[in-house]
A and B are shown apart, each in its own frame.
Chain A
Amino acid sequence: MTPALSVRNLRIEIPTRRGVLTAIDDLSFDIAPGEVLGMVGESGAGKSITGSAVIGLLEPPGRVAGGEIHLAGERIDHLPPERMRHIRGKRIGMIFQDPLTSLNPLYRIGDQLVETIMTHQRMTTAEARDKAQRLLEEVGIPAAKTRLSSYPHQFSGGMRQRVVIALALAADPELVIADEPTTALDVSVQAQIIALLKRLCAERGAAVMLITHDMGVIAETADRVCVLYAGRLAELGPVRDVVKHPQHPYTIGLMSAIPSLTGDPDEALAQIPGSMPRLGAIPAGCAFNPRCGYRFDPCTVERPPPYDAGAGEAACFLHAPAFARQAPAETLRQADAAGIQLSIPNGEAAR
């Protein structure tokens, strides 16, 4: 099946006075129709910039410097702005963190929905109004008919985000990009919104790229998850595997740093020493190597590409037999103990 979205070897550069920064470096992933792909990573890892590149709204001077982006098989990364504007809204729906940035405070909710529907679909105003009402009902706004004439400020934060979801889905898009859709919302409302987004996209067969740094949200919503570190893919795999059996040392650190509602609360949280490098100061070799407990010789010299790892892929030399054989036996033993599924048989390591 043709993926709804296919990103191949994406490279995003930001020219600055002090040189060209590489914000995304050789990133590849697919999202199948009806699939939810979670994008996680620390602040600055490149999640939003990837989303912006897909919808053709990279903020200048940022630019796609390499790779390709395909929407349902059609290449879209080099389209003229006019064509791209048509694809946005019609074929790609967008949901951002702050619902107020997506809604015009001066227009009634109903008029905004009707306008969006009519821009992308041939319909009479009356038909579009009917559809707008149905959409509001679908996203769970009570008294949808009367609410069509409300203004955004008359809705609570959770209700506004529902309206934004209705807007994003108004033209029945093939792909929805949701960038931190619940971060500005209350804990109690977050779960409602996530469940709603997931259900509606599943019903429509829309693919979803869900950007968030909340692993809990990802765990409950995504089918697969893509972990970014310093603009590069660290790990990509089915969500259960990545959460329960992470294969990249960074993902392992990330997972154990999350406080949970189970487990011993008196135990100190696991923490990764140091911090993610700034774009101008990414170390040679693997970007994670200075913080990695499993680092061995090649990690500081060469950049690991994604290798098959467990049920997914991980950009780590421990998963490349030819390299892993060079690792000290103790490193391999520790990696094995941490759940890294080494591809070389035990004891085959050099010393």
Chain B
Amino acid sequence: MSMQGLAVANETGVERKTLVEVEGLRRVFDLSKPWLNRMIEREGRVFLTAVDGVDFSIRQGETYALVGESGSGKSTIAKMAVGLLPPSAGSIAIDGADVWGKKSPEAERRMRRKIQMIFQDPFASLNPRWRVGSIIAEPIKAFGLIDDPLDRAARVGELLSLVGLDPRDGQKFPHEFSGGQRQRIAIARALASEPNFIVCDEPTSALDVSVQAQVLNLLRDLQERLGLTYLFISHNLAVVRHVATRVGVLYLGRLVEEAPARELFAAPQHPYTKMLLEAVPDIEMEGKDRQSIAGEIPNPITPPAGCHFHPRCPVRRPECDVETPPPHRVGDATVRCHLFGSAS
């Protein structure tokens, strides 16, 4: 079952169609030693459930943000969504087409073209030996979008202008640009195949705040102009508040809370969401008494039984140690916490 109900009208009252549908998504990594070692050391197999039954959907033109601590499974979901990593179970459909379903090579190409990804590190994700123009032209060639070299060069210039760079910058190499400019180049490359869905995995984490503002504003501006849909991953809640339409909070591979961004920040429901919001250093410094967060993230190989969060939870109940909380509707939010009703 999807954690959200049917498509809900957005603020302006216009119904937007669902573009991305994630259902029962699961990914298990096998961390076992080779068979012989296991026999000698008398050890069993070891599995790590990085993503444990995640459902959500994203409507066209909106930004869905995934937040959570390191190791909660954000990047694993991102990789499955763009087709880089197969899920162990569950499905991801983009515009009705299953990302991991069997399809004709033609349909496969069509789908790949429509999904792009922007990574955290603008330094590592650009080939240092290629001129920026060739980096951006590569997807245009690969998908056979523009055959004429002159037209293609013109399109590259257009893309560079679109992300706020000079068309002549195409002649330069990546190392001649600053971090923020490189992230702009990565965005231009992602836009080259005319995608409608872009997965941004910590796109500004490596950047300074002043540069981050430029990149976030650019992403938002492009969304408005091109109608893009984003899956936006970040551990910075202030950034997420600024970009997201909906937010999903991950804890050890499970979505513990999901809500429209406004609701989530105004009235967080899950104790973990509250804790995360508490932990944000605040430049307003309004002398709020920070509730110090107890404990650290548990070992994901042997996650706590019941609600994964129970060892750190300030309001834990007896059932939390044994029973996995089912989803509960609380206003516009979906919360997996026993506080909102005991499991039947």
A residues contacting B by CB (< 8 A) are 42-43, 156-159, 186-192, 194-195, 213-217, 219-220, 240, 243, 253-255, 257-262, 265, 268-272, 275-276
Cβ contact of A216, chosen from B179, B208, B283, cutoff 8 A: B283
> Is the interface on chain B under 10, 10 to 19, 20 to 34, or 35 or more residues?
35 or more
Distance (whole angstroms) from the CB of B187 to the closest CB of chain A:
15
Asked whether B281 is an interface residue with its Cβ less than 8 Å from the other chain, the reply is yes
Contacts of A240 in B (CB 8 A): 285
CA distance A258 to B292 in the complex (A): 24
Contacts of B237 in A (CB 8 A): 187, 261
Q: Assuming the A-B contacts A259-B241, A260-B238, are A271 and B210 also in contact, with contact meaning beta carbons closer than 8 angstroms in the complex?
A: yes
When the two chains form their complex, are residues A215 and B283 in contact, meaning their CB atoms are under 8 A apart? Answer: yes
Does the CB pair B290–A257 fall under 8 Å? no
CB–CB B210/A220 < 8 A: no
Which of B208, B262, B283 contacts A243, CB < 8 Å?
A: B283
Q: Cα distance A271–B275 when bound, in Å? A: 30
Do A191 and B281 touch across chains, with their CB atoms under 8 A apart? yes
Chain B residues closer than 8 Å to A219, beta-carbon distance: 281-285
> Do B282 and A188 touch (CB < 8 A)?
no
Is B235 a contact partner of A271 (Cβ separation < 8 A)? no
User: B residues 269-308 with Cβ under 8 Å of A?
Assistant: 275-285, 290, 292-293, 296-297
Q: Establish whether residues A261 and B281, one from each chain, have CB atoms under 8 Å apart when the complex forms.
A: no
**CB pair A187 B242 closer than 8 Å:** no
Q: Which residues of chain B (218-243) have a CB below 8 Å from chain A?
A: 220-221, 235-239, 241-242
- In angstroms, Cα B208 to Cα A42, docked, is 6
Q: With a 10 A CB-CB cut-off, give which of B180, B220, B277 has the most chain A CB atoms.
A: B180
Task: Say yes or no: is B217 at the interface (Cβ < 8 Å to chain A).
Answer: yes
Whether B162 is near chain A, meaning CB under 8 Å from some CB there, is no
Contact assessment for B209 and A254 in the assembled complex, using a CB-CB cutoff below 8 Å: yes
- Give the chain B neighbours of A259 by CB distance below 8 A: 212-213, 216, 236, 238-239, 241-242
**A99 to B: closest C-beta gap in Å:** 14
- Binding site of B, secondary structure by majority: helix, strand, loop or mixed? helix
Determine if B261 and A265 form an interchain contact, defined as CB atoms under 8 angstroms apart.
Answer: yes
Given contacts A42-B211, A43-B179, contact A220 B285 (CB under 8 A): yes
Q: Is the CB of B276 within 8 A of A255?
A: no
Q: A253 touching B281 by the CB < 8 A rule?
A: no
Given contacts A159-B296, A259-B238, A259-B241, contact A213 B285 (CB under 8 A): no
Contact status B216-A253, CB under 8 Å: no
- For the complex formed, measure the closest distance between the CB of B209 and the CB atoms of chain A, giving whole angstroms: 5
Is the CB of B138 closer than 8 A to any CB of chain A? Answer: no
| Given known A-B contacts A156-B296, A257-B209, A275 and B180 have beta carbons under 8 A apart | yes
Contact check, B208 vs A214: say whether CB atoms are below 8 A apart: no
What residues of A have a CB within 8 angstroms of the CB of B208 in the complex? 42-43, 213
Contact check, B285 vs A257: say whether CB atoms are below 8 A apart: no
In the bound assembly, the distance between CA atoms of A195 and B292 in angstroms comes to: 9
A265 near B241 (CB under 8 angstroms)?
Answer: yes
How many Å lie between the Cα of A252 and that of B178 in the bound state? 22
**Given A192-B293, A253-B210, A265-B241, A275 and B217 contact (CB-CB distance below 8 Å):** no
B221 partner residues in chain A, CB cutoff 8 A: 268
Chain B residue contacts of A262, Cβ below 8 A: 284
A268 / chain B contacts, CB cutoff of 8 Å: 217, 220-221
Q: Is B263 among interface residues, defined by CB-CB distance under 8 A? A: no
CB contacts (< 8 Å) of A253 on chain B: these are 210
Give min CB distance, B224 to chain A, whole Å: 11
Q: How far is the CB of B263 from chain A (nearest CB, A)?
A: 12
If the complex has contacts A258-B238, A271-B213, are A188 and B293 also in contact, measured as CB distance less than 8 A? yes
Residue contact B279 to A190, C-beta cutoff 8 Å? yes
B134 in the interface, Cβ–Cβ < 8 Å? no
B265 CB within 8 Å of chain A: yes
> Distance in Å from the Cβ of B189 to the closest Cβ of chain A?
20
B281 touches A220 (CB 8 A): yes
Given A186-B70, A219-B282, A259-B238, A269 and B213 contact (CB-CB distance below 8 Å): yes
B70 to chain A, nearest CB (A): 5
- CB < 8 Å neighbour of A261 from B181, B280, B292, B296: B280
**A220, B306: Cα distance in complex, Å:** 36
Q: Looking at the assembled complex, report how far the CB atom of B287 sits from the nearest CB atom of chain A, in whole angstroms.
A: 10
The residue on A at minimum CB distance from B235 is A187
Return the CB mask of B44-88 against A: 1 if under 8 Å, else 0.
Answer: 000000000000000000000000011000000000000000000
The 10 closest A-B pairs by CB, nearest first: A216-B281, A257-B213, A269-B213, A271-B213, A259-B238, A42-B208, A259-B242, A219-B283, A275-B178, A191-B279
